[in-house]
Structure formats: structure tokens, C-alpha cells
Amino acid sequence: MLRADLKPMVIKEAYMSYILPFAYQQKYLQELGDLLQNKGYTFFNLDNNQLEDEYYGNQVKVLNEELDQYFLPYVQQKLFPKNFDMYGFHRFSKRIRKSFKLEVNGFSYPFKVESVDVFFCPFGIAFLTMRTELTSKEKELSDVLNFMNYMRVAEPKLKEEKGATIVTTEGKSYENGHTFLFDYLCPDIKDYIIDNQKLRGYFGSLPYFEDERMFVTGFLFSGDNEELDPTSLYRMGHLDGRDPQGKPYLSTTNKDYIDRFYQEHIHDRWAPYTYTVTTEHAHIKVSRNPIEESERQLSQYMGTHYYNLILHYFYRVMLLRLSFEYSDLEWNKDEDYIRDLIELITIFSSRYYFGEVSARTEGKELSKIFLRTFHIDDLYAEVKGTLHELYQNQENIAAERQNQLLFMLTVFTVISGIVGMNLVIEDWKGQTGWSAIQNYNFMEWITLLTAAVGILLSISLFVVTIVRWLRLKIIKKLHKHF
């Protein structure tokens, strides 16, 4: 609903990050890492303290020591591997610090891209993060939310998503976030994105993902006297900026609905000065405190909270993938694929899915918010049920194969018993021409067919066993970074 009477709110500073998931070819992981390092990216390592103030802008510093202490040890090992050959999340970062402009519906929003991150996660899932900052001195909340809403669109499909243009200082124009990211900011990884030929558009790379928009995080600093009321917080969670006519926008008319939203999505531990809003498509922190007094909170937003979000966002994407692949099974044809899916679910559950990720109170609270907002517990319960169904199906297939083998052995045993185990056709003792076969009697034909079928079955079983063994070897080699 359009609301022209919405109370305006001044935003002094606005830091935002846009997270875009995609699928990559994991067999090229080492090649990708070498390529990015040659293109100016740096492999993120907690031992390198020189990176603490490299990527975050405005003299924001993220302490590596705090990142190290924030997560539990078994989580920290996966999030911050010391080298590229270790299991886990491999982050490559590059400082950009260039100015751009977003033009939409007669409004112009100057912004700066501070840096980009490329996370190569396990199981061929990756995240591209773009850190931005609005550069105009003072902004109205409707304009900030409008900028965030249009900037997060990877590929505009709906009418209300179209009309935005990103303009560079060189005069180049890009009509959506996808082309801006992969044609201008990060063209080097474009060729490594997996493209599903059955589905058009960017998210053919992730056919199990919800929509074609990026996840947004933001840290907003309002004026000291601004009231952070439930309606404003609701607008932040839904990115309700302006309508095509330029008027402030609110996507509900029900005050009770806003109150329920507040109870479910607002973290108000530091109220009335700081609030955190988390929805399925945005994670926004807004503070009335002066920027000088909020350096630690801003550092946590860029550091520990960012990694906490990445980890749980990975959970969501991975669980959606497992559910999608289960629904896409052809039970009569995908026996090997079923085995791979069982292995995938088992490795994910045992090696990467953690109920507790942080020892800090705020970290635990934030994790619970992500778990609830992304419906991770429900998705995980569904995947565990999937695993049970897969195991049951494997048992049925194994029992059916055993019955078939027992049937064949029984047939051969019966035939051998009838014709005699020591029955040998005299023609087999010397050189035999094919013409002799025409003169075989009935028992000799039975013996010949029994021997031929037995030999063919033995050869086929041997070949199938070797092929499956080689296939498992190849799969384990490709999945060495799990």
C-alpha cells in the first residue's frame, strides 16, 4: 500500500552488502584460486593481520583475533582454513573502492563499492559479496531502502523490478546486478559458473533457489533524535522504499501484522538505541548512536556477524539443494545417483552442519534468529527424512538384486543338475567348426547355451564392478574439498 504520510527518517551513513549465491565447477577449484590471486584477489587468512582494514572502508577494522575467538573451534577450522587445500570455506577478497551511480524512476543514488568477496564453499556452492556505501551526506530512509531494493535485483523479471540502471564513471551502463557483477566487477569467474541448460537466466545455476535477487545486509546510522518505531523497522525488513511514482511505500495496512512481525523478526537487545531486523531476504542493523561510539558494532557487522550469516545462508542453500535433488530423482534409473545423494547428505550433516557455532551470547542469539528465519531446522528435518527414505530404497534395491542373483543361480543349478555337471560336448575337445553346431542334439544345445550365458553374465558382472569402482574413485577425487 502507498503511504504518503509515513514519517521521514534521516539516515546519516549506510553500509550495505549484497550476497549472490551461485554454483561453480568444483573440479576447477584450484584453477579458480590461482586465477583470482593472479587478478589481484587475496586469499583470506587469519594469520595475515594486514587484511584487517583492507576491505571494509571508512577506516573500519575487523580484528582477526575476534574472528578467531567468536566461533567454536570445530567451526573456526571450516570457516578459516589456513591454506587452499584444507576443507572448508575459501574466501578471496579484492579491494575496489570505485564510485558508481544507480538511476531509477527519476532518482539518482551515488554509491561506492568498497570491495568484493568470493567464497568457494563445499559441494560446489559459492557466494559473491559486494560491499557498498551510499556516498551522499544525508539520506532519507525511503531512498536508502529504494536503493537497496533495486540494487539487489540480479535479473529483473517483474514490472516493479525493472527500470534501474547502474552507471560507472567510464560511462558504461548495466541494467541489472548480475551483469554489473559478472561483466564489470568480477568477470574472471563468469566462465566457471555452472549453467543448467534446461533453465534460462542466471539462477539456472541454482534451480532450487527462491528468486533472482540477492540477499542484503546493512548497517544504518540514523539521526540521534530519530524514533526507531515498529513501522520503520518493518519497512527495513521488507525493503519498502518508494513506489514507481516516487512516494514512500509500505507493504501492509494492518498494524497488528506489523506488531507480529516485530515479535518474530526484531532483535532488540540494545533497544531503544540499536535494533536488528532479519527476514528471508534482508538482515539490517540500525542504530541511533553516533558513529564514533559504534565502531565495535560496525566491525562486528563486517566481521563476526557476516561470517555467521554466510554459514547459515550456506545451510539454507545446501538444504534446498538436497531437497531439490531428492525431488528430481528417477527411482528406476538413478541408483548410483541415490548412493551419491546419501553420501552427500551424510558428509554435509557430519562435517558442516553444526547446531552451535558460537560461544558468545550474542552469537548464539544471532544464530537462533538465522535458524528460525531461514527455516533451517525444518529443512534439515526434511533432509533427514529424505536420508531415511534413501536408505530404505537402497535396502530394497539390494534385496531385489540379491533375489535376482539367487534366481539366476537357482536356474543354472537346476539346468546343470538336469544335464549333468560333467557333461562335455565332444566337439569342444578339439578344433571345432561352426558347422558342427547345426548337428547338435537338444541336450548339447542346452549345454552350449548354459555355458555361453554363464560366461557372458560373469564378464558383465566383472565389467560393472570395475566401472562402479572407477566411478567412485573419480567422485571421491572430485569431492576432495568436502
Query: DSSP class of residue 294?
Result: -
Residue 395 has pLDDT above 90, yes or no: no
Residue 463 has pLDDT above 60, yes or no: yes
Using only C-alpha atoms, the chain has a radius of gyration, in whole angstroms, of 30
User: Which residue type does 448 have?
Assistant: L
Contacts of 453 (CB under 8 A, 6+ apart): none
**Per-domain residue ranges for the chain?**
10-294, 422-482
**Distance, CA of 288 to CA of 270 (rounded, Å):** 11
**Distance, CA of 62 to CA of 345 (rounded, Å):** 34
Residue 263: burial class (beta carbons within 10 Å; 0-12, 13-18, 19+): exposed
Q: Is 267 helix (H, G, I), strand (E, B) or coil?
A: strand
Q: What is the pLDDT of residue 203?
A: 41
Please provide the size of the chain in residues.
482
Minimum mean pLDDT among 176-180, 188-192, 335-339: which range? 335-339
Q: Is 155 helix (H, G, I), strand (E, B) or coil?
A: coil
Q: What pTM was estimated for this model as a whole? A: 0.83
Q: What is the pLDDT of residue 119?
A: 94
In order of 66, 181, 268, 364, the CA distances from 479 in angstroms are 31, 28, 42, 31
**Distance, CA of 62 to CA of 72 (rounded, Å):** 18
**Distance, CA of 414 to CA of 410 (rounded, Å):** 6
Q: What is the rounded average pLDDT of the residues 441-459?
A: 72
Residue 454 has pLDDT above 50, yes or no: yes
**Distance, CA of 288 to CA of 290 (rounded, Å):** 7
- The phi and psi torsions of 170 (rounded to 5 degrees) equal -85, -5
Q: What is the mean pLDDT of the chain?
A: 83
**Distance, CA of 179 to CA of 186 (rounded, Å):** 10
**Distance, CA of 296 to CA of 61 (rounded, Å):** 9
Q: What is the rounded average pLDDT of the residues 27-44?
A: 91
Q: What is the rounded average pLDDT of the residues 246-272?
A: 92
